[in-house]
Amino acid sequence: MSKKLGVIFDSTDRIIRNKDVQDTSTKISPRSSKYKSQHKKPEQQASLLDFVKPKPKSQRQIKANKLKKTHLTITRSSYIVYKRKGKTRLDSKKKITRLKRSVRVYRTSKKAEREVAEQELKGVPGVALDINTKVIPVEQQVQNLSLSDTPTPKDDLQAKAVHSIHSRRFRSYCDNCTRPRLKELTIQLLKDLDRFQKRAFAKNEIKARAHPRLILGVREALARLRINKVKLLFLATDCEICPGESGLDETIEGLKFQCQQQQVPYCFPLQRRELSYALQKRAQISCVAILDFDGANATYADLLNEIQDARAEYKRRTAS
């Protein structure tokens, strides 16, 4: 009986040892189905770290991650044109504003006058054509001048209106001098407000569109002036010449009149190309209206003082 027990004990002990060896050589896979796919290869083994839950993030970390994700670089301008809702016509005609139409008409008339003058002077050098198409030498025209050809009082008034300091780059509608300090403050204010506006668009575009910092263009500036939203107005010093009713000259005078009525400060600090360069735009800008200058209050206050000094200097230079 003792021999039988010894044989059974030896066989059971052998079986147990073989099982232990097999268990250590084979892969120990977790029972949870969530982690089965992580240990498909035999050399990979599960550990207790697979079942440890990560520490939940705090609200401060979540907000920081959101700001990192939404801090995007805006390649295009902040004024992104989206597809309009409603009907889409195949042959849609772009609407031309009244101001743009008057500018185009003036351009075509000037071009036609220039072409006519070139055709008249193309024949013989040093010779001009009379109204009745008679060839008259230039020397004879100078001799034929009489007292009747002297300028009229109206011409004198027009000549006095345009001072010697005015030029093509600094037109007669400007009423302040362009000083270096004025240019520097204007560029600094425009860059700061443009940066604030782009940052607001990156965070929440809907709110940024509802509360813009600055707007561009004569039409947008007129619309905001009607509802008393403009805090400061910048106009270019070299806007295109366009006289006549609803022309650019009359529009600029209307902008100045509305600013004076509402006591809104305005100035003429930069040229069109300089305004577009300050705002990183390709097209030339003739008008910029500031609607909200929070964050740049010191620059705004210094700019107002500099505008008064520049206007006083202009009056002093044009008085003589």
- Amino acid 241: pLDDT: 87
DSSP-assigned states of every residue in 175-232: -S---HHHHHHHHHHHHHHHHHHHHHHHH-HHHHHHS-SEEESHHHHHHHHHTT--SE
Q: Does some domain include residue 168?
A: no
- How far apart are the C-alpha atoms of 13 and 21, rounded to whole Å? 13
Domain range for 190: 181-314
- How far apart are the C-alpha atoms of 163 and 174, rounded to whole Å? 11
Q: Does some domain include residue 99?
A: no
Q: Does some domain include residue 113?
A: no
Find all residues with CB under 8 Å of 295, minimum gap 6, and list them: 192, 193, 196
The count of domains in the chain is: 1
204-229 confidence digits (pLDDT tens): 989 999 999 999 999 999 999 999 99
249-270 confidence digits (pLDDT tens): 899 999 999 999 999 999 999 9
Q: Does some domain include residue 208?
A: yes
**Residue 103's pLDDT band (cuts 50, 70, 90):** confident
pTM score > 0.85 for this model?
no
Range 86-93 average pLDDT: 72
Q: Does some domain include residue 18?
A: no
Range 56-60 average pLDDT: 82
Range 39-54 average pLDDT: 67
227: its two tokens: 């509802």
Q: For the chain, give the mean pLDDT.
A: 77
pLDDT at 282 over 60: yes
Q: Of 280 and 138, which is predicted with more confidence? A: 280
pLDDT at 48 over 60: yes
Q: Does some domain include residue 52?
A: no
Q: Does some domain include residue 78?
A: no
CATH number, domain of 248, equals 3.30.1330.30
Q: Of 161 and 241, which is predicted with more confidence? A: 241
**Residue 141's pLDDT band (cuts 50, 70, 90):** very low
Mean pLDDT check: name the lowest of 27-31, 193-197, 204-208, 304-308. 27-31
Q: Does some domain include residue 204?
A: yes
